[in-house]
Structure 1
């Protein structure tokens, strides 16, 4: 059985929306408008295709993206530069088959060239022990907890375990290449850089 991780395609958004909203309480629901914002602005938005079937996706944002998640802002208040995994979703029938590990290997190979840390969260209330073990096995550790205040897109009162992983390759890459990575296909961004949001400035 083959697993292919590749960039999302626009015609797949309806399938991704259905996959997200069938994932259960450990994943925040999406509507079509927010998913479209992800498609338009996420730095990393890739899908996993197993045996020809779309079976999961992962969405991530760099620390300068201005992403509007309260969990993203929590990290932004504490860390200068990081890559944030907003969500990873794997179809229920494919869980335990290696898709999550394939995604994390892929996203780390992208992030460690550009960011010193990778961040994500696991909701505490929803049988989170398997997710904690999974993330711990990848080197994530808890750096605090955050209760989501509630917004149009996020329900309030959900407590999240905030996780960070140090990306040890970043310092070496920065020392030797700075922002000018070699011109090789596997080093290119999976998607164009997310446009920086307009911020009003005042005096």
Structure 2
């Protein structure tokens, strides 16, 4: 069966919370209020659906969002414009089946229209080799390490240049055509005031 990547729906937030909190030590736990905050404010909040079931989710924020993560702040101190993947979770029964790759293809196609770089982190304290290999295969490179002060977790900070961004910026000047695949989430567009292009 094919993998469908689409915007999350509000009635799915409990399922998203369960996926997150069953993901193991590589993902920080969430509560219902935090998931709802993501729903209200995240620029990118999409789920994967396979065989009619949720198989995972990805949450991301643009650099102008004022996101309150310490890892986001680490990137913001060093880079003026980037898109940050806050978390990606794939259900354990779906790992290795292409869901993560489908998410990264989708989030990159979203980000490269708007930002010159894609940023994320991998926690290093709990068997990071598969995650580092996965990200390396997508062209991410470590640009530093950061210890998250609130949870004392060490993270490898990864970035990837988005080579299509300069062409999109120069061609469209920060005003993308109004097409279904170029539109931002409605909830996020009400809360963010990201400057166009750099």
TM-score by length of 2: 0.94
Q: Establish whether residue 22 from structure 1 lines up as the match of residue 17 from structure 2.
A: no
| Aligned mates of 1:52, 1:190 — CA distance in 2 | 22
| Aligned mates of 1:8, 1:46 — CA distance in 2 | 5
Call closer, same or farther: CA 1:34–1:161 in 2, change over 3 Å: same
Match of 1:167 in 2: 162
Segments of structure 1 that go 5 or more residues without pairing to the other structure are 198-203
| Aligned mates of 1:55, 1:126 — CA distance in 2 | 22
Select 1:195's aligned residue among 180, 191, 196: 191
Match of 1:146 in 2: 146
Q: How is 1:1-203 mapped onto 2 (pairs within 5 angstroms)? A: 1-150=1-150, 155=151, 157-191=152-186, 192-193=188-189, 195-196=191-192
Q: CA deviation at 1:183?
A: 2.3
Match of 1:200 in 2: none
| Aligned mates of 1:21, 1:194 — CA distance in 2 | 28
- Across the two proteins, how many residue pairs are aligned to each other? 192
The superposition leaves residues 72-121 of structure 1 with CA deviations (integer Å, 9 ceiling, x where unpaired) of 00000000000000000000000000000000000000000000000000
Segments of structure 2 that go 5 or more residues without pairing to the other structure are 194-198
Greater helix share, structure number: 2
Superposed CA RMSD: 1.1
SS at match of 2:189: coil
The superposition leaves residues 17-49 of structure 1 with CA deviations (integer Å, 9 ceiling, x where unpaired) of 001000000000000111111000000000000
The more displaced of 126-135 and 187-196 is 187-196
Q: CA deviation at 1:195?
A: 1.2
| Aligned mates of 1:122, 1:194 — CA distance in 2 | 30
